[in-house]
Amino acid sequence: MDDLEFKRRYGPWALIAGASEGTGASFARQLSAKGLNLILVARREGPLAALAQELRAAHGTQCITATIDLAAEDAAQQLLGAAEGREVGLLILNAGADPNGAMFLDNAVANWDVLVMRNVMTTMRALHAFAAPMRQRGRGGLMVVGSGACYGGLPGINVYAATKAFDLVLSEALWAELEPHGVDVLSYVLGRTDTPAHRELMEARGMAVPAGLADADDVARLGLERLPFGPVCNWGEADDEAVMSASSAAQRRARIRQIAAISAAYTVKG
Ligand SMILES: NC(=O)c1ccc[n+]([C@@H]2O[C@H](COP(=O)([O-])OP(=O)(O)OC[C@H]3O[C@@H](n4cnc5c(N)ncnc54)[C@H](OP(=O)(O)O)[C@@H]3O)[C@@H](O)[C@H]2O)c1
């Protein structure tokens, strides 16, 4: 898709939650280069403001920032507030890594609450809030950045994996529900990626940075390319390949299509 068509389908504004560094900043740079205006969200204002200034100067697009803690009870409301009066055609929910790296019982439950608030509650509420006007307009895109951890529980990747499974399953359902309304939904499942958050966690655990981490710019590029081809894109795998999961993206898509008619019969029409 060329930049003009991308902007027509997903512009004029994109909101990126978790935009200040890593894959979030890569999405921001690439979307700004395509001519989209941006709402950049994270907790730290400094890196957001620097990025916004860089993008305005580089591309002449509009770029505003909002410091929001996505784990706050009213985070989705705050996101809506930040977007007020702007037509958001693309929502990217990028923030989602697990800073805990701990066994379930060896961590205070309050820390797990924070992860669930950000990755489950805010994700679900933001999708609900931003998808509604997209459905009305008959166009738009929703991307939830996920993790290969979504495909099963592992020690030390407990609550994180469970939140990512929630995000995957919800995104698949929304893909099927919103496709007839011209809104694209993608669960973008990443593998290990070279981001500051990931490096920080490895450093804190005394781990060496391994070779072969995915590059954040490459990750962002593929995600934007695959946005119209939901519901799932697994980084590093072709559409019909299954490495991280027992089923490929293509098989998951086919399964949803296959049972859509049965599930639709149980559904109250809005
Ligand atoms: N890196 C990997 O190896 C890897 C592997 C698989 C999946 N993923 C997925 O890829 C996505 C990006 O991961 P990442 O490694 O870049 O780390 P991340 O911590 O999920 O994302 C970093 C960005 O999110 C912001 N952020 C984090 N928590 C936030 C909160 N509570 N409220 C608002 N903003 C918040 C950070 O800025 P502030 O600190 O200023 O808030 C920063 O801009 C995540 O969804 C993660 O699960 C990553």
pLDDT digits (tens, 9 = 90+) for 214-241: 999 999 999 999 999 999 999 999 999 9
160 carries an active-site annotation: yes
pLDDT at 266 over 90: no
Residues in the chain: 270
| Predicted local distance difference test score (pLDDT) of residue 64 | 98
Kind and range of the H or E run holding 33: helix 22-33
Distance CA 235, CA 239 (A): 10
pLDDT at 157 over 90: yes
7 carries an active-site annotation: no
Give mean pLDDT, residues 162-175.
98
Give mean pLDDT, residues 79-99.
97
pLDDT digits (tens, 9 = 90+) for 18-72: 999 999 999 999 999 999 999 999 999 999 999 999 999 999 999 999 999 999 9
150 CB under 6 A from ligand 1? no
Q: What is 3-269's CATH number?
A: 3.40.50.720
Q: Classify residue 36 by its DSSP letter.
A: -
| Predicted local distance difference test score (pLDDT) of residue 54 | 98
Instruction: Name the pLDDT band for 4 (thresholds 50, 70, 90).
Output: very high
What proportion of the chain, given as a percentage, has pLDDT over 90?
92
pLDDT at 11 over 90: yes
| Predicted local distance difference test score (pLDDT) of residue 260 | 87
The atom number, within ligand 1, closest to the CA of 160 reads 47
What end-to-end distance do the CA atoms of the chain give, in Å? Answer: 32
pLDDT at 269 over 80: no
pLDDT at 270 over 80: no
Considering the candidates 7, 34, 164, 188, report the single residue annotated as catalytic.
164
- Asked if residues 143 and 92 have their Cβ atoms less than 8 Å apart, the reply is yes
Q: Where are the domains of the chain?
A: 3-269
Distance CA 8, CA 223 (A): 18
| Predicted local distance difference test score (pLDDT) of residue 267 | 80
Average of per-residue pLDDT values in the chain: 96
| Predicted local distance difference test score (pLDDT) of residue 205 | 86
79 CB under 6 A from ligand 1? no
| Predicted local distance difference test score (pLDDT) of residue 154 | 86
Distance CA 197, CA 201 (A): 6
The atom number, within ligand 1, closest to the CA of 114 reads 31
Please tell me the distance between residue 150's alpha carbon and the centre of ligand 1 in angstroms: 16
Residue 186 backbone dihedrals phi, psi, to 5 degrees: -135, 125
DSSP code per residue over 39-79: EEEES-HHHHHHHHHHHHHHH---EEEEE--TTSTTHHHHH
pLDDT at 95 over 80: yes
Please tell me the distance between residue 29's alpha carbon and the centre of ligand 1 in angstroms: 16
| Predicted local distance difference test score (pLDDT) of residue 23 | 98
pLDDT digits (tens, 9 = 90+) for 196-213: 999 999 998 898 999 999
Q: What is the number of other CB atoms lying within 10 angstroms of the CB of residue 262?
A: 8
- Residue with the nearest Cα to atom 28 of ligand 1? 95
Considering the candidates 7, 160, 266, 269, report the single residue annotated as catalytic.
160
pLDDT at 151 over 80: yes
